Structures are given as structure tokens and as C-alpha cells.
Amino acid sequence: MIFGDTITRVRPLVTQDRYGSDVLDYAAGARTVFAGVCVQPRSSAEATADERDMVTTGWRIYSPAGMDLDIEPVDRIEWAGRTCEVIGEIARWPHPIRPGEVHHCEVDIQKVSG
């Protein structure tokens, strides 16, 4: 089944430090589960710098027709035992028949290791 994946959105709790800057607390953040999405591989890259090996792996989340995902660039996504960062803005494709509605969403995520 193409839309057989389940993801968890982690929206951070935003507090301020003593200087008035925002601090994002993902551990205390709100979790929302989205079932019936499709997660596909997007890209992978390896880099070696200053004796550090780094691997960046990316995926793209697709929602089925009619599902608008409440995901923002500041959120994190938990999926398949991984915690990933959302990359960039969420693509909300307009519905071709129903003006003002979303047909489906595409969300790029990535995990950096190393």
C-alpha cells in the first residue's frame, strides 16, 4: 500500500532565554500522529571534514489526496525509529477542482549522522 506509513510530528515548546531569544524544546513539545502517508527516499550525501564523517539522508513525505498536513519548518518528524528535521517550507498543492483547498502535501525531511 503506497500510503501505509505513519509519522509523528513534534512541535517544539517555545520559551525564551534570559536574553529574550526563543528556545525550542522538542522534548516538551506536542506530538501529533499522521497515519496514511507515504515516505520515500529523496537523497543521501557523505562528507568528510576535519576527521569527521557525516552522512545526510533525506526523505519526502507525501499525503494522500485531500489530506493537508499541519507541519511547519520548525517541527521535527519521528518515523521508523528516526528523528528528522523538516527542510524548508511545506509544499501544499492546490486542488484542481475545489478552489482554495489543498489536494496533497509534500514535506522534505532529513537526518544528519556523524
pLDDT digits (tens, 9 = 90+) for 3-19: 999 999 999 999 999 99
- If you search the block for the grid coordinates 509534500, which residue do you land on? 106
HEC sequence for 10-44: EEEEEEECCCCCEEEEEEEEEEEEEEEEEEEEEEE
- Nearby residues of 43 by Cβ (< 8 Å), 6 or more positions away: 56, 57, 58
- Give tens-digit pLDDT for 29-75: 999 999 999 999 997 777 776 777 888 899 999 999 999 999 999 99
Please give the pLDDT value at position 55: 87
Domain count, the chain: 1
Instruction: Check: CB of residue 105 under 8 Å from CB of residue 92.
Output: yes
CATH code assigned at 21: 2.40.10
Structural domain including 27 reads: 5-113
Q: Which residues of 3-13 are buried (b: 16+ CB within 10 A; e: fewer)?
A: eebebebbbbe
In this prediction the pTM is: 0.88
